[in-house]
Amino acid sequence: MINFRLPAVLVFALVIASAAAPALAQKAPIQITADLTEAPRKLYHAEVDLPVTAGPLTLTTPKWIPGNHRPTGPVDSITGVVFTADGKPIEWWRDDVDLYEFHVTIPKGVTTLHAHLDCIVAARLSQKMAVLEWEKLLLYPAHTPVRDIPIEPSLKVPGGWGIGTALAPVGAGSYPVPAAGSTTKFAATNVEQLEDSPVITGQYFHEFALAPTITPKHYIDVVSDAPEDSNLRPSVLAELNNLVREADALYASHHYNVYHFLLTLSDVAGGEGLEHGQSSDNGVGEKGFADDAHQLAEADLLSHEFTHSWNGKYRRPVGLYQPDFATPQQGALLWVYEGMTHYLGNVLAARSGLKSQAQYRDMLAMSAASLDYRPGRDWRPTEDTAVAASILRGGNPAWANWKRGQDYYQEGELLWLDADTLIRKLTQNKKSLDDFQKIFLAKGGTTGPLIVTYTFDELVQDLNQVVPYDWATFLHDRVDKINPRADLAGLEHGGYKLAYKDKPSPSERTMAAAGGRRVAGVDCWYSIGLHIAGDGSIADVRWNGPADKARLGPGEKIIAVNGQIFSPEALREAIRAAKDKSEPIRLIVQADTFVSNAEIDYHDGERYPVLERVEGTPAYLDDITKPLTTPEKAPAETKKDEE
């Protein structure tokens, strides 16, 4: 058992949570019925009844959605808004400063305001499935802490579609497949928790219980566009059982009453990975878990979002938690929220068997190399990629390497690997970052869903509980300062070094052969410095790299290579042929309606990142990915690549 004093911020959070319960009991709840029966037509509907008193009232919809790190509230997709009281229409008007707010005046004697609204939904649905994020249909009083607003949700879905969610059912038991036209009622909650509890529903639905010896209960709910895909392979289920047990051993606590992995398998509904306290919304391609080759590209998705239940949902940077969904979130510590989760998610994926140790090293090499070849490091520190997260998400990929993007994910992975291996080095491998998690993420012990904020100073204090060190300087040097090179110290302390070979690693070859949303085009970033689609279109040019010096630009299209019509193999052959020769690689390039010639002066051949073992040094990296529990043996359908 770990003995420690609860920090003031934790005591405050626990007091707020306990004080909120009687306040909720004294208020009449909002009633909301979400209607997804027209989901195949890209329409959701809602009927909302709000308790009111006479006078002016301001209602709002969510703007800053937790986990999105920018204002993504779907107010622009909400339509068909009609307010009535006692069957009579009530006039409304939108606030002309905060466009998420609706103003109404409640007549005397009216105690319930009814609102109808529709939402036009463009993603996360298909003809066979749908995902409901409740912010698409929520209306509630503005300028009120959302945890203090009680609400009773209900749901209608197409007949025969199963339902997966962490929302508690009314009464005991689970959710039967609802009959056509029926309504599923959920237990009362508050607006904060409802927004944090998505629903998946679909015609081809399966729910699987996981790790039955672990309390509380865990499930994976799956919907797919094809009937065979939602019935997950036995090997995947074995690995997910391992994941739950490994997380239980690593984090030594739970901060949910039940946990549901929500998984959609569709080439239409789109990809997703969004954390929630008691569930996670995970969307991959139709065959994303159909075999080991497709699974590799998605191997850390479920473990990453699961980790967020502890790191990001329960423990959250003080600036990233706001009592409503209107106040802007501050991203300064996203290199902990996302970066440490990125690190732990990949470690858990390896410990549970979702990927092998060799695959973990291959993927880590690819991540480290991409950061080491990020010229934007010359002007933008990691901290600024976190602070500026809301303006860096999405956008045009042109010159993204010079601009930098959400690098706090991968930068954080290398930083926390550095911290992990340093702790092991300082303690002769007797302690590790695992010990830090049992302090940082387990404060307060096991709880229900709860948000406990932290600061940079608390982070440093908790690291010092594991092993005394100048952790403040360690973190400041890596996060706040300009670092032209990536933090590769963790690899080196772990017994490996980043190197480059003329052939892709086994994992990179596997993902390229399988395709999928994370793999596309020709990989020549570490040679001539281009991200290229399969048709020759240039997505990005590495700043100050060989292609940049040849004056190529994003948006152009390579139409010929050394006198041959462009193909991925023709370009790779040209790069190989130029090795140790003086002749440049000659291209014909189309830019808009113009065609020009370009010569790339590059002669070092193909280059692909790998990790190489440094003999005679401790293999801490291998220790990090060893299971903490006895793994469940997965059926040998296909053998993961251990080259």
Q: Which residues pair with 154 in a beta bridge?
A: 33, 185
Query: CA–CA separation, 627 vs 633, rounded Å?
Result: 12
Classify each residue of 458-489 as buried b or exposed e, where b means 16 or more C-beta atoms within 10 Å of its C-beta.
bbbbbbeebbeeebeebbeebbeeebeebbbb
pLDDT (mean) for 14-36: 62
Give the lowest-confidence range in 155-164, 274-283, 520-529.
520-529
pLDDT (mean) for 165-171: 91
In single-letter form, the type of residue at position 579 comes to K
Name the H helices within 498-631. 506-514, 546-549, 568-577, 620-624
Instruction: Place 182 in a pLDDT band, splitting at 50, 70 and 90.
Output: confident
Residue identified by tokens 């059982």 is: 241
Instruction: Place 516 in a pLDDT band, splitting at 50, 70 and 90.
Output: low
Q: Which listed CATH number (3.40.190.10, 3.20.20.80, 2.30.42.10, 3.30.1280.10) goes with 527-600? A: 2.30.42.10
Nearest alpha-carbon partner for 65 in 199, 195, 193, 166:
195
Residues with Cβ within 8 Å of 586's Cβ and at least 6 positions away in sequence, in order, are: 561, 562, 563, 597, 598, 599
- pLDDT of 178 reads 74
Q: Is 561:574 a contact under the CB 8 Å cutoff?
A: yes
Helix, strand and coil percent figures for the chain, each rounded to 5: 30, 25, 45
Residues with Cβ within 8 Å of 463's Cβ and at least 6 positions away in sequence, in order, are: 419, 436, 469, 471
Residues with Cβ within 8 Å of 40's Cβ and at least 6 positions away in sequence, in order, are: 125, 126, 127, 158
Beta-sheet strands, E only, within 249-347: 259-265, 272-275, 279-284, 315-317
Measure the CA angle with vertex 620, ends 616 and 624; round to 5°. 155
Strands 43-51 and 30-35: antiparallel
Residues with Cβ within 8 Å of 311's Cβ and at least 6 positions away in sequence, in order, are: 336, 337, 340, 341, 344, 441
Give the lowest-confidence range in 5-9, 495-499, 559-563.
5-9
Query: 627 preceded by cis ω (within 30°)?
Result: no
CATH topology of 1-157 equal to that of 527-600? Answer: no
DSSP string over 484-504: SS---HHHHHTTEEEEEESS-
**Residue 592, both tokens:** 């808009």
- pLDDT of 432 reads 98
C-alpha distances in Å from residue 98, one per residue of 69, 94, 112, 292, 588: 19, 8, 25, 48, 50
Judged by DSSP in three states, 88 sits in strand
Residue identified by tokens 């300062």 is: 481
pLDDT tens for 356-372 read: 999 999 999 999 999 99
Query: CA–CA separation, 234 vs 506, rounded Å?
Result: 24
Q: Is 316:333 a contact under the CB 8 Å cutoff?
A: no
Tell me what percent of the residues of the chain surpass a pLDDT of 90: 89
Residues with Cβ within 8 Å of 372's Cβ and at least 6 positions away in sequence, in order, are: 485, 486, 488, 498
- Whether the per-residue pLDDT at 331 is higher than 70: the answer is yes
Sign of CA dihedral 143, 144, 145, 146: negative
Judged by DSSP in three states, 280 sits in strand
Measure the CA angle with vertex 138, ends 132 and 144; round to 5°. 135
**Residue 285, both tokens:** 């391609």
Residues with Cβ within 8 Å of 82's Cβ and at least 6 positions away in sequence, in order, are: 89, 115, 116, 117
Q: Is 49:112 a contact under the CB 8 Å cutoff?
A: yes
Query: CA–CA separation, 281 vs 206, rounded Å?
Result: 15
Strands 129-132 and 162-165: unpaired
Query: CA–CA separation, 140 vs 625, rounded Å?
Result: 46
**Helix (H) / strand (E) containing 101:** strand 101-106
Nearest alpha-carbon partner for 314 in 20, 66, 629, 19:
66
pLDDT tens for 302-317 read: 999 999 999 999 999 9
DSSP string over 183-250: -EEB--EEHHHHHT--EEEESEEEEEEE-TTSSS-EEEEEEESSTTTSS--HHHHHHHHHHHHHHHHH
Q: What is the largest CA-CA distance in the chain?
A: 88
Query: Rounded to the nearest 5°, which phi and psi values hold at 237?
Result: -65, -40
- pLDDT of 171 reads 74
- pLDDT of 521 reads 78
pLDDT tens for 437-460 read: 999 999 999 999 999 999 999 999
Q: What is the pTM of this model?
A: 0.93
Judged by DSSP in three states, 453 sits in strand
Domain 1-157 coded CATH 3.50.50.60: no
pLDDT tens for 56-105 read: 999 999 999 999 999 999 999 999 999 999 999 999 999 999 999 999 99
- pLDDT of 40 reads 97
Query: Rounded to the nearest 5°, which phi and psi values hold at 30?
Result: -65, 145
- Top-level CATH class of 319-503+615-624? mainly alpha
Q: At what angle do helices 433-440 and 456-466 cross, to 10 degrees?
A: 130
Q: Is 306:214 a contact under the CB 8 Å cutoff?
A: no
Residues with Cβ within 8 Å of 329's Cβ and at least 6 positions away in sequence, in order, are: 64, 66, 69, 319, 320, 321, 322, 390
**Helix (H) / strand (E) containing 130:** strand 129-132
Burial of 450 (0-12, 13-18, 19+ CB in 10 A): middle
Give the lowest-confidence range in 308-317, 331-340, 431-440, 630-639.
630-639
Beta-sheet strands, E only, within 538-593: 538-541, 557-561, 564-565, 585-591
- Total length of the chain: 643
Spell out the domain ranges in the chain.
Answer: 1-157, 319-503+615-624, 527-600
